[in-house]
């Protein structure tokens, strides 16, 4: 059974995020969109006219992320947030930085959802989008920003997807009142995944939608890592409390915001 929920989907202009938003709207849910600038916000609303609104903020700016948390609060209590927005540098060996001077992949894929989770009132459900590539992670806990190592964009992406999976698990362990889960959507036909990917955006969004809205027992779980629609074992570090603590300490230090 599905009841009407109020859901915020980050990165909902295209790809998995747009597919999730459209499916949720079609099912009668109240959906709040997210875009990184005015132009993309207009596009999102035009393509998803059933949405209750759109909030604007670039995940490359921590100030923007803080403003996003305030803007979302104006839409009232949320039932769920799908943390979908993300970037991948596609194998680049040139370390990209944000306006804040932070390595771009870690900033967008990890720090932004961390900060939103820390600042926003916790909804009943949180869904964090990871990737099967998290299994290839080789994180340096003293160099998440790639300031000392030779930069590798693909590795930075894998490491960031391990980090977001660990964040989702950490929230579940520290806040049993929240259903917090992580999803590997598969290799999806998006701009990031490419035209040859076997999974459609709608298929890639399906598990996140179910975890955000369904009331059956299979969706009312927490601390799980889902791939191909079912719980699976993630990278061992996702479940490692010491690794979680180290990651959260790094995020707190950079953002000057604790995850309570």
User: What global pTM score does this model have?
Assistant: 0.96
Q: Work out the average pLDDT over 200-219.
A: 96
pLDDT, tens digit, 9 for 90 and up, residues 236-251: 999 999 999 999 999 9
Tokens 């927490």 locate to: 222
Catalytic residue among 43, 114, 151, 157: 157
Distance CA 5, CA 215 (A): 11
Return the pLDDT at 31: 98
Which tens digit of pLDDT belongs to each residue from 138-153? 999 999 999 999 999 9
Cα-based distances in Å from 117 to 146, 171, 209: 24, 9, 19
- pLDDT at position 44: 92
Q: How confident is the model at residue 17 (pLDDT cuts 50, 70, 90)?
A: very high
Among this protein's residues, is 224 annotated catalytic? Answer: no
In order of their start, the domains of the chain are 6-255 (3.40.50.720)
Find out whether 166 and 106 touch, Cβ atoms under 8 Å: no
147 closest CA partner among 186, 97, 196, 185: 97
Is residue 236 annotated as a catalytic residue, yes or no?
no
pLDDT for the residue numbered 241:
98
Q: Is the pLDDT of residue 1 over 60?
A: no
- CA 236, distance to chain mean position in Å, is 20
pLDDT at 130: 98
80-112 pLDDT tens trace = 999 999 999 876 789 999 999 999 999 999 999
Residue-wise DSSP of 73-108: HTT---SEEEE------TT--S--B-TTS-BHHHII
| Euclidean distance between CA atoms 226 and 67, whole angstroms | 31
pLDDT score for 153: 95
Of 176, 57, 150, 162, the residue nearest 106 (C-alpha): 162
Q: Which of 75, 114, 151, 161 is an active site residue? A: 161
pLDDT of residue 2: 55
Is residue 85 within 8 Å of residue 65, measured between CB atoms?
Answer: no
Tokens 């875009």, residue located: 35
- Segment (H or E) for 162: helix 153-174
Helix residue ranges per DSSP H, 74-111 = 104-106
Average pLDDT estimate for 155-170 = 98
């Amino acid at each position: 059974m599905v009841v009407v929920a109020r859901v915020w989907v980050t990165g909902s202009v295209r790809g998995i995020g747009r597919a999730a938003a459209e499916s949720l709207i079609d099912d009668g849910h109240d959906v709040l969109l997210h875009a990184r600038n005015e132009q993309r916000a207009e596009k999102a609303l035009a393509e998803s006219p059933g949405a209750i609104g759109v909030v604007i903020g670039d995940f490359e700016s921590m100030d923007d992320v803080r403003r996003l948390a305030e803007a979302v609060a104006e839409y009232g209590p949320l039932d769920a947030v799908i943390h979908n927005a993300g970037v991948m540098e596609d194998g680049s060996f040139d370390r990209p930085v944000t306006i804040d001077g932070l390595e771009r992949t870690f900033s967008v894929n990890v720090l932004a959802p961390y900060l939103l989770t820390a600042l926003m009132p916790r909804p009943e459900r949180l869904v964090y989008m990871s990737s099967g590539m998290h299994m290839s992670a080789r994180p340096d806990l003293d160099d998440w920003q790639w300031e000392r190592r030779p930069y590798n964009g693909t590795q930075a992406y894998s490491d960031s997807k391990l980090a977001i999976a660990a964040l989702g698990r950490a929230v579940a362990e520290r806040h049993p009142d929240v259903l917090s889960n992580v999803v590997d959507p598969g290799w999806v036909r998006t701009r990031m995944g490419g035209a040859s990917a076997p999974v459609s955006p709608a298929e890639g969004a399906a598990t996140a939608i179910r975890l955000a809205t369904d009331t059956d027992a299979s969706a009312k779980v927490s601390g799980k890592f889902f791939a191909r629609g079912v719980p699976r074992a993630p990278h061992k570090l996702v479940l490692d409390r010491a690794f979680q603590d180290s990651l959260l300490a790094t995020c707190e230090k950079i953002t000057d915001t604790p995850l309570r």
